[in-house]
């Protein structure tokens, strides 16, 4: 039998599923079975599998449904309300309870236990064992007594499901009333039609339990979208754990994701909880999912499917209820075709894709984002107000923004540093990857690293008027530590004289 442990047993929430699992484990100690199934009575006159336990469980069983109009024998058992032993025979007209789902031998043990409260039918419990004559009259009587306890657990589960459904409906309604999502998560501003479609998708998927795959170019705001989904979900008060898959060391990937026990490997001096375990009850954000090592993907797939995993160096299974949001800027379907990403994991994660548009396709959002970032930068640099000229705004609109929103933010921050007076002009805009107007493009060969580095540093010094330290200094422009810049200046033999700043 699998040993289940939790990250914090004394604070574990006893969910309806866990309650039913405990009940079925207790029944197995009194009435040995290989399969126990709890079927819920639906309004449309059918029985649907709600819980199952035992060694005979398979994928087909989880979605199994019995139409009572087609099974008068089972309807009769439920109407009578008493336990029945089914005599499995080889006669032509006999129909197994789980025909076409399970291949059980003729004559195997099968018990039908109707579930009800105060005479009101709730569902049915079935117990099966491949060995014949396992269910003695005494065990049948015990099953009848225990059916009351199981009925209460099933009623609790149904009530909880109803409350969850009501809560999701309320969250949907609340999300639909939120006009500006940037009041929830910073940076998600815009009014272009393509962006408003993204906002609506976020509002729709957030209250559900569905996994989400966020696709888009670098700098489009994938992590911010993930945070918005978390904030608008019913898990908003639970953990939001992030893991950048491109930064995982291959040798430590399993430990990083699932944790390890003390002594699991050299250097494992204590027990460590992995990101999946830390995200229990909340959301795990897997950034750059396309870079997840292929070797760890089967274990992640199992953890998502079954909700259980083992720490490295342990045989004990840990249960965790985790919703996955992942993000990538690469074509995962192509990686699947190349055999570099598991197809089954891709489809498990790609339940609800959200494709973020590049900034160049968002039209007037560039101006809205610019004003938004300038307000933030005014606070950061302790300026009363930062404005931008029409000419500079026109330059921003005409740029291709290969780095998207992140590039826009960096460009504006550089411009604020260079503007000094609080008014950004075109000359203050240093676009990434674009040669500035004052530098003539030539066909000269690229010079050595030292020579090119010297040119860049001298240019920064000129822009900063010879200043290295502090706001607007060359170190800040180059995003280097002042001491590092001084060291490079000395190493490259750059002389800080009056000509350097003219």
Distance CA 39, CA 51 (A): 7
Cβ distance 304 to 320 under 8 Å? no
Distance CA 265, CA 267 (A): 6
Backbone angles phi and psi of 464, in degrees to 5: -90, 5
Q: According to the model, what pLDDT value does residue 19 have?
A: 76
Distance CA 215, CA 332 (A): 10
* Cα 233 off chain centre by: 12
What pLDDT band is residue 167 in, cutting at 50, 70 and 90? low
The whole-number average pLDDT for the span 45-52 is 89
Two tokens, residue 288: 């750059």
498: pLDDT strictly greater than 60: no
Distance CA 211, CA 208 (A): 9
pLDDT tens per residue, range 371-427: 999 999 999 988 889 999 999 999 999 999 999 999 999 999 999 999 877 899 999
What pLDDT band is residue 57 in, cutting at 50, 70 and 90? confident
CA dihedral (124, 130, 133, 134) in degrees, to 10, reads -70
CA angle 61, 66, 67 (to 5 degrees): 155
Cβ distance 50 to 154 under 8 Å? yes
132: pLDDT strictly greater than 70: yes
Nearest to 499, CA basis, from 462, 460, 469, 453:
462
- DSSP class of residue 346 equals H
Q: According to the model, what pLDDT value does residue 127 have?
A: 94
Distance CA 452, CA 445 (A): 11
Q: According to the model, what pLDDT value does residue 15 have?
A: 66
pLDDT tens per residue, range 288-307: 999 999 999 999 999 999 89
Lowest mean pLDDT across 112-121, 239-248, 266-275, 492-501 = 492-501
Distance CA 422, CA 381 (A): 10
Q: Is the pTM higher than 0.85?
A: no
The whole-number average pLDDT for the span 428-441 is 60
Nearest to 344, CA basis, from 356, 336, 354, 353:
336
The whole-number average pLDDT for the span 27-49 is 89
What is the average pLDDT value for the chain, to the nearest integer? 84
75: pLDDT strictly greater than 60: yes
Cβ distance 105 to 90 under 8 Å? no
Q: According to the model, what pLDDT value does residue 436 have?
A: 43
What three-state secondary structure class fits 26?
helix
Percent of the chain at pLDDT > 70 equals 86
Residue keyed to tokens 């006999």:
94
Q: According to the model, what pLDDT value does residue 164 have?
A: 56
Q: How many CB atoms lie within 10 A of CB 407?
A: 19
Nearest to 408, CA basis, from 463, 369, 435:
369
What is the Cα gyration radius of the chain?
A: 31
- Phi-psi sector, 118: left (phi>0), alpha (psi -120 to 50), beta: left
The whole-number average pLDDT for the span 213-220 is 94
Nearest to 261, CA basis, from 316, 319, 317, 311:
311
50: pLDDT strictly greater than 70: yes
Distance CA 161, CA 156 (A): 9
Nearest to 128, CA basis, from 30, 207, 35, 42:
35
Range from 83-87, 185-189, 298-302, 484-488 that averages highest in pLDDT: 298-302
Residue keyed to tokens 């291949």:
103
Distance CA 243, CA 278 (A): 11
Backbone angles phi and psi of 310, in degrees to 5: -125, 140
Q: According to the model, what pLDDT value does residue 301 have?
A: 94
Residue 439 or 33, more confident:
33
Distance CA 155, CA 81 (A): 17
Contacts of 25 (CB under 8 A, 6+ apart): 1, 53
Lowest mean pLDDT across 21-25, 81-85, 193-197, 354-358 = 21-25
pLDDT tens per residue, range 4-33: 333 443 334 456 677 788 888 888 888 999
Cβ distance 153 to 20 under 8 Å? yes
Distance CA 290, CA 330 (A): 7
Residue 456 or 91, more confident:
456
What pLDDT band is residue 433 in, cutting at 50, 70 and 90? low
HEC profile for 114-166? EEEECCEEEEEEEEEECCCCCCCHHHHHHHHHHHHHHHHHHHHHHHHHHHHHH
pLDDT tens per residue, range 231-264: 988 888 899 999 999 888 888 889 999 999 998 8
Distance CA 425, CA 415 (A): 8
b vs e for 39-68, b when ≥16 Cβ sit within 10 Å of the residue's Cβ?
Answer: bbbeeeebbebbbbbbebbeeebeebebeb
b vs e for 148-172, b when ≥16 Cβ sit within 10 Å of the residue's Cβ?
Answer: eebbebbbebbeeeeeeeeebeebe
Distance CA 4, CA 318 (A): 6
Q: According to the model, what pLDDT value does residue 240 have?
A: 94
90: pLDDT strictly greater than 60: no
């Amino acid at each position: 039998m699998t040993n289940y442990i939790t990250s914090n047993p004394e604070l574990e929430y006893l969910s309806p599923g866990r309650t039913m699992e405990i009940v079925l484990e207790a029944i197995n100690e009194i009435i040995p079975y290989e399969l126990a199934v709890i079927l819920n009575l639906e309004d449309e006159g059918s029985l649907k599998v709600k819980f199952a336990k035992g060694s005979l469980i398979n994928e087909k069983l989880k979605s199994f449904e019995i139409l009572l109009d087609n099974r008068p024998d089972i309807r009769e058992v439920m109407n009578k309300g008493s336990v029945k032993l089914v005599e499995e025979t080889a006669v032509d007209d006999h129909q197994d309870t789980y025909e076409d789902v399970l291949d059980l031998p003729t004559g195997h043990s099968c018990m039908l236990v109707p579930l009800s409260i105060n005479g009101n039918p709730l569902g049915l419990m079935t117990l099966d064992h491949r060995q014949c004559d396992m269910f003695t009259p005494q065990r049948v009587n015990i099953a009848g007594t225990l059916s009351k306890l199981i009925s209460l657990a099933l009623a609790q589960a149904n009530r909880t499901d109803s409350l969850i459904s009501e809560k999701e409906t309320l969250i949907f309604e609340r999300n639909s009333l939120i006009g500006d999502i940037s009041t929830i998560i910073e940076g998600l501003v815009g009014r272009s039609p393509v962006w408003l479609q993204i906002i609506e998708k976020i509002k729709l998927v957030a209250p559900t339990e569905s996994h989400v795959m966020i696709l888009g170019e670098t700098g489009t705001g994938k992590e911010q979208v993930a945070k918005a989904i978390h904030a608008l979900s019913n898990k908003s008060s639970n953990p939001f754990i992030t893991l950048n898959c491109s930064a995982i060391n291959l040798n430590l990937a399993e430990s990083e994701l699932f944790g390890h026990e003390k002594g699991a490997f050299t250097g494992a001096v204590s027990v460590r909880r992995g990101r999946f375990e830390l995200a229990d009850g909340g959301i795990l954000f897997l950034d750059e999912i396309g870079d997840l090592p292929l070797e760890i993907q089967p274990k992640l797939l199992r953890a998502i499917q079954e909700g259980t995993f083992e720490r490295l160096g342990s045989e004990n299974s840990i249960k965790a209820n985790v919703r996955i949001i992942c993000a990538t800027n690469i074509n995962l379907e192509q990686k699947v075709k190349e055999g570099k990403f598991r197809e089954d994991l891709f489809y498990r994660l790609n339940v609800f894709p959200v494709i973020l548009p590049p900034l160049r396709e968002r039209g007037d959002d560039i101006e809205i984002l610019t004003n938004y970032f300038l307000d933030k930068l005014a606070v950061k640099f302790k300026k009363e107000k930062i404005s931008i000229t029409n000419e500079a705004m026109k330059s921003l609109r005409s740029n291709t923004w290969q780095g998207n929103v992140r590039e826009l933010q960096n460009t504006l921050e550089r411009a604020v540093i260079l503007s000094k007076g609080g008014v950004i002009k075109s000359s203050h805009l240093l676009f990434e990857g674009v040669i500035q107007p004052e530098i003539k493009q030539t066909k000269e060969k690229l010079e050595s690293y030292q020579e090119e580095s010297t040119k860049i540093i001298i240019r920064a010094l000129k822009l900063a008027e010879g200043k290295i330290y502090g706001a607007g200094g060359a170190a800040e422009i180059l995003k280097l530590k002042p001491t590092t810049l001084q060291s490079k200046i000395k190493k490259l033999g750059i002389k800080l004289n009056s000509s350097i700043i003219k």
